[in-house]
Each structure stands twice: as structure tokens, then as C-alpha cells.
Amino acid sequence: SLDIWDPFEGFSAVASVPPSARETTAFATARIDWKETPEAHIFKADLPGLKKEEVKVEVEDVNVLQISGERSKEHEEKNDKWHRVERSCGKFMRRFRLPENAKVDQVKAN
């Protein structure tokens, strides 16, 4: 079995939250930078271990940019000996309300 590091261990405020929910919540806070240049709004997301096919970028409700995806749990081989697992797995979704001047029909991701 994997030894999962629990960053919330010892905090009574989240002690009642099941570990599986905390894992999903931890990844839900994927770090994203947003800057505006004269040409574009640029979002940079820290999503280590994900392939571009596993990340979905879409515009909803006219001007809401949504970035979502899911990181699967690492496949555990019978002979593997894990010492620590700190990267979260689960679904994530971040939403950003774009300003009126955003050209939502020109959204692209790479």
C-alpha cells in the first residue's frame, strides 16, 4: 500500500474530511498565473504529470474560461516499493471570468 503524506494531519478543522476528498481538493488548487498583454490574456498552469490530452480548456457562459482535468492514481506494480506519495490525484477545475474585451472565439491552449 502507498504511504500517502497528509499535509492536513494534525489540523482539527479538516480532520473530519475523508482523505480521498482532501486529495481531490489539494489538486483542485492547481496554481495558475494570469497576465494580460496588449495582444492576449495568458494563463499558465502548473499541472505536472498531465498530458495535454488530459487537460480541457473551454469557454462557458459567454466569458468564463474553464480549465479542468484529472490526474489518475499512479499504477502500482507488485514489486514496487513506494517510500512517499505527495502528488495529489483526482479531478480539478478552475474557472476565470474574462473581461469584456476578451476575444473568447480565439481561445487556444498549448
Domain that includes residue 59, residue range: 19-73+88-100
In a domain, 92, yes or no: yes
In a domain, 2, yes or no: no
The residue to which cell 488530459 is assigned: 54
Confidence at residue 26, expressed as pLDDT on a 0 to 100 scale: 47
Q: Where residue 43 falls among pLDDT bands split at 50, 70, 90?
A: very high
Confidence at residue 16, expressed as pLDDT on a 0 to 100 scale: 54
The total domain count for the chain is 1
Q: Among 18-32, 42-56, 58-72, whose mean pLDDT is lowest?
A: 18-32
Considering the chain, what percentage of its residues have pLDDT values greater than 70? 70
Closest CA to 104 of 75, 66, 74, 54: 66
Q: Which helix (H) or strand (E) holds 22?
A: helix 19-28
In a domain, 28, yes or no: yes
In a domain, 14, yes or no: no
In a domain, 25, yes or no: yes
In a domain, 12, yes or no: no
What residues are paired with 33 via a beta bridge?
A: 44
Q: Among 4-8, 43-47, 59-63, 97-101, whose mean pLDDT is lowest?
A: 4-8
- Backbone φ and ψ of 20, nearest 5°: -65, -35
Output Rg (C-alpha) for the chain, integer angstroms. 17
Confidence at residue 4, expressed as pLDDT on a 0 to 100 scale: 55
Tell me, what CATH number does 67's domain have?
Answer: 2.60.40.790
In a domain, 11, yes or no: no
Does residue 60 surpass a pLDDT of 60? yes
In a domain, 31, yes or no: yes
